[in-house]
Chains A and B, each alone.
Chain A
Amino acid sequence: AQTVTQSQPEMSVQEAETVTLSCTYDTSESDYYLFWYKQPPSRQMILVIRQEAYKQQNATENRFSVNFQKAAKSFSLKISDSQLGDAAMYFCAFLRNSNYQLIWGAGTKLIIKP
């Protein structure tokens, strides 16, 4: 069975600095997708970034980028130039190809200090 582990229950960063959130997963599959979702206090789960396992290039979306290490089964999220609006719970999720059940980590609470 697939599992997703986020080892950091909470992280804090100074505004404008860079922070990295960790995620590891366990699977025997070779073809899958990885996601980072953000959940602010409004509860709405918002997609931050996604990575296809067959792509070696790390995904980037503006200030958000990932470090995808397939052999190590690691998928960390880097947030550059942190902003107050980045404060939220961040969830890492795994999706096996040809399936639809997202497997979720327990989340990391990100605090931005002004």
Chain B
Amino acid sequence: GAGVSQSPSNKVTEKGKDVELRCDPISGHTALYWYRQSLGQGLEFLIYFQGNSAPDKSGLPSDRFSAERTGGSVSTLTIQRTQQEDSAVYLCASSFDGLGEDTQYFGPGTRLTVL
């Protein structure tokens, strides 16, 4: 079946504008994760959705960042009033049920550039 997909692949925006990044998880996966990868760095956890439970937002760096997941499937990460330090690759992953032994499968990411 299809893997995790993300859109857009690349996004260039001006400082102060809002952006929306989309993630389509693997069909049947109930757990969805967002990570941020700055240049030359490992991944930084942002937010986690599991089924109908309240999301774990503990990794969001500021209140300019928010995410939602509609119908337990597609997720949108929104960054308001973008800043240059928001420039990074944003990766989405999904897994079957989010338990520790579960493998996370990643999408190709969205490269965000804030000018």
Interface size class of A (residues with CB under 8 A): 20 to 34
- In the complex, A32 Cα to B100 Cα: how many Å? 8
Question: Does B100 lie within 8 Å of A100, measured CB to CB?
Answer: yes
Chain B proximity of A30: nearest CB distance (Å): 13
Q: Which of A52, A91, A104 has the most CB of B within 10 A?
A: A104
Render A45-77 as a binary contact track against B, CB cut-off 8 A, 1 for contact: 111001010000000000000000000000000
Complex interface: chain A residues within 8 A of B111 (CB): 43
**B48's contact among A44, A93, A98, A100, by CB below 8 Å, is which?**
A100
B79 within 8 A of A: no
State whether B106 touches A45 (Cβ < 8 A).
yes
Chain A interface: which of B11-19, B20-28, B38-46, B64-72?
B38-46
Residues of B within 8 A of A96 (CB): 100
Cross-chain pair count, CB within 8 angstroms: 63
Cα(A109)–Cα(B114), bound, Å: 26
A44–B106 touching, CB < 8 Å = yes
A43/B45 contact (C-beta < 8 A), A98-B100, A100-B31 known: no
Q: How far is the CA of A113 from the CA of B42 in the complex (A)?
A: 25
User: Which residues 51-78 of B have a CB within 8 angstroms of A?
Assistant: 56, 59
Please judge, given known A-B contacts A96-B100, A100-B33, whether A45 and B93 are in contact too, CB under 8 Å.
yes
Could you write out 13 A-B pairs with CB less than 8 Å apart? A32-B100, A43-B109, A44-B108, A50-B103, A98-B100, A100-B31, A100-B48, A100-B50, A100-B95, A101-B59, A102-B45, A106-B40, A106-B41
